[in-house]
Copies of this chain bind each other. A is one copy, B any other.
Amino acid sequence: MYTEQGRGTFVGPKSAPQSPRRVPVYQQIANEIIGEIKAGAYAPNRLIPSEKTLEQRFDRAPGTIRQAVAHMRELGWVFTVPQKGTYVSKPEDWPEG
């Protein structure tokens, strides 16, 4: 049973047996970079590769790369300083820990 704001309360699983639902490309890219951050490839307060560089590495359109970076930003893994670059957040700002 769950509630959807403004629509009422419903009974039953929200999406059947949790459909596998494909993972968007931008999330796959984000996950890969996050893995590298956790592995220590990019240190806290240090720049990750530029969006341009990531475009080439993943061979994806600018918008897709921007979405990936935005996703990591929302999760707290990185922060961006305009016209400078995107930095790895302090570990205490990382999710689940």
A residues with CB within 8 A of B: 4-7, 44-46, 79, 81, 84, 87, 90
Interface centre among A4, A44, A90 (most CB of B within 10 A): A4
Q: In the bound complex, how far is the Cα of B5 from the Cα of A46, in angstroms? A: 9
Q: Of the candidates B5, B44, B81, which one forms a contact with A4 in the assembled complex, judged by CB atoms under 8 Å apart?
A: B81
Q: State in angstroms the CA–CA spacing of A16 and B7 once bound together.
A: 48
Minimum C-beta distance from A66 to chain B (A): 11
Most chain B Cβ neighbours within 10 Å, of A5, A6, A7, A81: A6
Cβ contact of A5, chosen from B5, B6, B90, cutoff 8 A: B90
The distance from the CB of A77 to the nearest CB of chain B, in whole angstroms, is 13
